[in-house]
Structure 1
């Protein structure tokens, strides 16, 4: 859980702190408080210790007079800024086909000597419908109810001021995936078990898995403890955090369960029936929760269309959404093969790359991890080489400001591609914070090219404070482009990434853990190259007496093999047939296509109210967009949202969960922690973990070369006034960026003048696949030269001498490259598929006749067996 603390304004006098540790030298003016000073000291000392263990050189720090603010990341926090320790997290997942119900219980203990008011801020998936919140204090359980937001706040304030324990759960007004819980108040020694239940759709992955993610931000990265006469915190490592995580997963499906996988260690999968449609698995004991817990569910016949009917609530008002049955349709349109065999060759491709400071952090903490910006650069190279000739393209980098490679999109050619590749190689994570709205506004202000549909690819690892404003901007331009978004790392905002893809009729991807960016991006490129589907219509066939109200927004986009979900409210009664059908019609390259699904109106068993709540969340989301758009009916729209939210027990931006323990009259003593905290500060805390806010603003950064002498790195410019960060220079400096104590510090204002003295490591060897791809021309062929020979592992004269007579050198080189890809990089085919398609197309354009001799000679040279059919030439 990420928390925000109230700030202190005490000052600490100058000190001879520079003599307190042999690895640190400072000149210090003012620090915000003794607590902050102590935390900062421990932070720097622990980094120095880590570097000493790694036999690295010391770090030199110089501080100027500025302010330091602490941001806690450990769940409930007391009025004194001392965290209430999180002892246990218990998560139960109930997966029903493509829907999951998540119950998270978090147990806290107040170890202080006085009653506390506690607050914590935490993320949830953006498409989750929060439908239950309760708190158990001792033996007393308080179940909260949904009320109008302002009324809930007033009731909470009244309860706490009168000495009653109260609980308030609110959704952020800025981003739908951020929630805040206020607990007022815990008596000394009391236990508090907080339970939150939400339901959500599971996202479909490229390999047909359904993905669920439990954010690691629930993890308290350190455990402060009090000592002495003041507020003194002691920071420990992640491995020392005294709490446990238990996770149990139950899966039920109409299709057999093939397997369950996770990025964390699982116990063996246990099937609970003979047809393997009901299974159970647990997270293995001992998980430290230092990364997102991802779960992947595989079914047989995943792409089989399904329909689920859920019965209404008998006590709900007649005619209301909650009273009537609700239908959930999952469709998987299959496009004709003759259409999919030739992807579009036209379009405008705009790549928008996050170049904020946190992009200098590692993709993950395991072996072989790559820096995020370097992975993005490799991905850009792959994209640039995969684009079709004749399209338009441009590349934007953004941080606190933005810049583009070209004033406007340019025609893809050898010259423009080479210029772009050269500039990609020079890209750095040196542009400060994460401000995505301005570059998007600029891109949308550019005129589109006729017959070249705009495809927008956005890469970011961050969160922004104006998520809904960004989504509204994307939605307002949906008819001029498609948006494909990529969240890099565990901290990327699901509301931002998923929302941009949803509103931009595109597709969202999350790159977490040891995932490689390139395969996921190439899947989205395939979607972007698919011909656009238009004239989409949905028609219903129902028995007499039954009508339907579609609750989902109109379908704006369809991709081959991707799921489309429709929610609908069924009204009336049928005296005869219980069968219905839904038909989706659309045009694809001027060809009419029809997909139909027949279903029964008989309610499905054991779904609870999950389908109703997801449908309500969908309706509320659409109403919220209408409200932000303005107009005369804003108050009526708000009234509808509140009414739906209360009826369904699902939170929205205008409601909140409120629970009051009216049986406890304990008097609250001391001032209460301020509840209304800036969401922007919370959003920025994710950047603090990755050192985005600790930028070296000295004239030069110093690095120890292999010879042992000091050498200067490139002069760094101050990208953001008032913000500072420190770039991660190599893999071993991850000790600085990810050290547990780093999670507690957020640097405000440009106070830090830092030079990191580190041992240089050899440049990592470039991936041979990327080396080969980098040599391909924009037209799709390779040239016969020493660079190509080096990549395929042969001497230049070998390659030249083995060339069949009367075969052009470029044709020979291109055939060799295709053979090498198919023989030695078959497992990476998803990454080089478009590169190969361009090469094959170029060979066909040469009208050479048979290439059998060329292929045989290539196989002989490379000692492999690849047929012409495999090469498709």
Structure 2
């Protein structure tokens, strides 16, 4: 089934009633509260219904929704979804204003906002508030993302539920403005705030530098998600926040009792952490859908997501330990694998895999990730080789919850590490895969290099798995605890684990609680303990309660999906609705509804619907929107986000495209069209017809040249699976020398492979220390290989290599 999408409203000269979006962010330690104000104005002569489909962070707890019309403020209430929809329809049919906010049933990071019966000349201001936890990145920064890009999600055939109607336009055509400001406060100093968008200078509010404000510079073009990375000094400090219950809620309920949020940072023994596992089954799953041909950032259209992913696979394969097993799977509308089942890692299997990776393109159509995952899970696990799954995708899928369910069902047999590539990747999918798969999630956006983030995750995968995790509470007499978070399934060095729990009963003044996390690591029992005050923190609002409610709602929703078709189906759904209504937090089964009951004036005239367009990633010279070819205009149509089209023929009288399904007679609007270099170069160019449509005319068209090979990757590509290099002309070229220059200074008693390997290591340490995290693991493998050779004159080799390459790297720095 193709993704549904409407035509480009802006090109049809239809007014867009959304005028501006103002976002205020408040970050306290690692929790963010976001207030978005959407300002609408109806400049038409008839009443409007404005429908806006937009992304939010996948784990956001939407907790407030209100509308202001003139001086009238209407606060929405949470109701069961069908009931809320009926209230909305009833209000519109009786000429009243109504506002409806609902979460997509397929993916928790997409929301739909309907603003109904906005009279001619009327303005309305919509206020939306949500709270969310900030994820810790590999470099210890806390990541906040305000999604501005909503790429239409590919809906696989036969999947459940309908799609949300998404109207997407290139970011440059988004007609409304965005302003963004943030305030950050923490018990620890804020060392820096970075962003992929231009920021005004940081303003500290106190001498301790624990509070700061920052604003986005004017003129944001909506061409990317707004990403903030916040760095604290000494960020990895365990902490606990106890929040008092709501005075109006009944004691014994989640909202009526105090709730505690614990942030735990386990510290593992250094002896265990310095050792790297020499076993494991490493399964790499690569997205090869059409959208992977997009540029990974806005500056270089040649550097596509698929090219970056392939370079990353090279580094990963070179860094794997001898003795492990591996396989590479790829998917689009169909899926492929390099080997029928995982094979032992050797020079032969590594070379075979890399040859096939080199030929991979973004040429497999849609984004159907469910079937390849089922295939991987159907393969029996290899004894004593723990399975580690690495998923690379731009995350544009419509069946997010189904995919996450499948990972959870198989969470006992593997760890899943996920990578969201490019703008608009679904945070619900990427975070959900890692969370339910006991792994770690990373996002690669803007000018990020994929390689350091992926190698960080490989280090996690090579750590021994933490098992037998349990949480024990020690509380004063009369106080009992109810866990609100699902059990912890994974722990990684330096990574935060969050626990929410409800505290019932009365505790004496100044009393303390204690929580102990016990686990086993590499056969060693270990534990981390945190003592905390039970006195409620001041001025936290109900942030912790709402985050806890959202956590519990997500767990219950997943249990409900697992019960489909069983006798007790619907039991968890009922609990979700009750909890959502009680806490005022969004869920898949409820919606926010506000009806203006105060206005006595009935709105006259037929209601006209206006879809508010969302910005969509648009980059690269190979993609065109609203395309018309010669006399053939593009009509509004459904489209497949990830279908690749080849230009088979371009002439003045006719234009046709070919897909895997055969000739497609019409051209699709509002979506990207790929001109693949697999056909012979065509003569065509793009120009506008003045009405927002685009036409093709005859002129030269040639495929873009691939980017030059990175010198680091060139050297890495020559390394053998064992960790050594071979003295040959390719190595000489990679080091910028001739073969003669390389061979002449070699100490006489040293074999060629030892000399070549020392040269490569000296070059890495001498010229590529800025990328050390990318090559560190494969260098460790080289050092182990050198030590195993028991070469007698390594010191002489190091001195000679330094002289040849003009470096001053000490032997100790190499780890020899």
**Contact 2:172/2:222, CA 8 A, preserved across alignment:** no
Counterpart in the other structure of 1:778: 721
Q: How does 1:464-863 map to 2 (within 5 A)?
A: 464-575=397-508, 577-630=510-563, 631-664=566-599, 665-670=601-606, 673=609, 692=641, 695-699=644-648, 718=660, 726-727=673-674, 757-759=700-702, 762-863=705-806
Q: Give me the whole-angstrom Cα distance separating, in 2, the residues matched to 1:436 and 1:73.
A: 33
Which of the residues 78, 87, 96 maps onto 1:155? 87
Q: CA deviation at 1:238?
A: 5.5
Counterpart in the other structure of 2:211: 278
Output one character per residue of 1:800-821: Cα deviation in whole Å (capped at 9) or x when no partner: 0110011010000000000000
Counterpart in the other structure of 2:121: 189
Q: Secondary structure at the match of 2:570?
A: helix
Cα gap change, 1:761 to 1:121, in 2 (>3 Å):
closer
Counterpart in the other structure of 1:255: 188
**Contact 2:48/2:117, CA 8 A, preserved across alignment:** yes
Counterpart in the other structure of 1:101: 33
Q: Give me the whole-angstrom Cα distance separating, in 2, the residues matched to 1:742 and 1:512.
A: 33
Task: Note if 1:871 corresponds to 2:809.
Answer: no
Output one character per residue of 1:233-263: Cα deviation in whole Å (capped at 9) or x when no partner: xx99866766432212111211121121212
Which of the residues 244, 252, 263 maps onto 1:319? 252
Q: Give me the whole-angstrom Cα distance separating, in 1, the residues matched to 2:706 and 2:596.
A: 61
Counterpart in the other structure of 1:463: 396
Q: CA deviation at 1:189?
A: 1.8
**Contact 1:691/1:726, CA 8 A, preserved across alignment:** no
**Contact 1:459/1:488, CA 8 A, preserved across alignment:** yes
Cα gap change, 1:693 to 1:206, in 2 (>3 Å):
closer
Cα gap change, 1:158 to 1:241, in 2 (>3 Å):
closer
Output one character per residue of 1:57-104: Cα deviation in whole Å (capped at 9) or x when no partner: xxxxxxxxxxxx625599xxxxx9934243221111111111000001
Cα gap change, 1:763 to 1:387, in 2 (>3 Å):
same
**Contact 1:361/1:737, CA 8 A, preserved across alignment:** no
Counterpart in the other structure of 2:335: 402
Q: CA deviation at 1:728?
A: 5.5
Q: Secondary structure at the match of 1:296?
A: strand
Unaligned runs of 5+ in 1: 6-68, 75-79, 221-234, 703-714, 747-751
Q: CA deviation at 1:671?
A: 5.7
Q: CA deviation at 1:726?
A: 3.6
Task: Note if 1:70 corresponds to 2:7.
Answer: yes
Q: CA deviation at 1:290?
A: 2.1
Q: Give me the whole-angstrom Cα distance separating, in 1, the residues matched to 2:780 and 2:690.
A: 47
Q: Give me the whole-angstrom Cα distance separating, in 1, the residues matched to 2:533 and 2:222.
A: 43
Q: CA deviation at 1:742?
A: 14
Counterpart in the other structure of 2:375: 442
**Contact 1:537/1:586, CA 8 A, preserved across alignment:** yes
Q: Give me the whole-angstrom Cα distance separating, in 1, the residues matched to 2:302 and 2:263.
A: 37
Cα gap change, 1:859 to 1:674, in 2 (>3 Å):
closer
Counterpart in the other structure of 2:164: none
Q: Give me the whole-angstrom Cα distance separating, in 1, the residues matched to 2:509 and 2:42.
A: 61
Q: How does 1:64-463 map to 2 (within 5 A)?
A: 70=7, 82-217=14-149, 243-367=176-300, 370-463=303-396
Q: CA deviation at 1:670?
A: 2.5
Q: Secondary structure at the match of 1:540?
A: strand
Cα gap change, 1:457 to 1:741, in 2 (>3 Å):
farther
**Contact 2:117/2:603, CA 8 A, preserved across alignment:** no
Q: Give me the whole-angstrom Cα distance separating, in 1, the residues matched to 2:307 and 2:433.
A: 24
TM-score, length basis structure 1:
0.82
How many aligned positions are there? 764
Q: Give me the whole-angstrom Cα distance separating, in 2, the residues matched to 1:485 and 1:335.
A: 23
Q: Secondary structure at the match of 2:456?
A: helix
**Contact 2:466/2:490, CA 8 A, preserved across alignment:** yes
Q: Secondary structure at the match of 1:318?
A: coil
Q: Secondary structure at the match of 1:167?
A: strand
Q: CA deviation at 1:166?
A: 0.4
**Contact 1:582/1:598, CA 8 A, preserved across alignment:** yes
Unaligned runs of 5+ in 2: 153-167, 626-638, 652-656
Q: Give me the whole-angstrom Cα distance separating, in 2, the residues matched to 1:779 and 1:216.
A: 45
Q: Give me the whole-angstrom Cα distance separating, in 1, the residues matched to 2:411 and 2:82.
A: 34
**Contact 1:185/1:668, CA 8 A, preserved across alignment:** no
Q: Secondary structure at the match of 2:559?
A: helix
Cα gap change, 1:99 to 1:638, in 2 (>3 Å):
same
Over the residues paired in the alignment, what is the CA RMSD in angstroms?
3.3
**Contact 2:49/2:610, CA 8 A, preserved across alignment:** no
Q: Give me the whole-angstrom Cα distance separating, in 2, the residues matched to 1:203 and 1:457.
A: 19
Q: Give me the whole-angstrom Cα distance separating, in 2, the residues matched to 1:479 and 1:741.
A: 57
Q: Give me the whole-angstrom Cα distance separating, in 2, the residues matched to 1:755 and 1:842.
A: 58
